[in-house]
Structure 1
């Protein structure tokens, strides 16, 4: 990420880890919701969207392609194919 520091919240880090583990395959919303659940409360789709938006903004600010995380409509998200090569 071009030497820029990247400070993520624990939930953002968990979401990024889930996407990285998928190696370019799409992650279902349910998988992403489970990945960012903290065990104290249920995480809803609105919270997931907010976390993904924040993660995208931080990755872009750190020098990553703004389209690194793709939304797969009706399914979930994935890392752009060029990022997993």
Structure 2
């Protein structure tokens, strides 16, 4: 049965395994799978939100550094030319 295959697999966590076993034994596997899908979707959304909130400041600093280097690469030769003219 499905619960035997999932129980022997290392791909799934214990909560998912228990949900499939319970759903299969009660005959309401569809409802239990929909419930576990809802929980997993919420976990993925939380994880995605956390990753984005951590990556955002890092990306801003990286872009600021790149823009700073571009500005310096343009302005330094101009300042050097200005010094040569004097």
Q: TM-score normalized by structure 2? A: 0.29
Write 1 or 2 for the structure with the bigger share of strand.
1
Higher relative helix content: 2
TM-score scaled by length of structure 1: 0.30
Q: Which structure has the larger Rg?
A: 2
Higher relative contact order (CA 8 A, sep 6+): 1
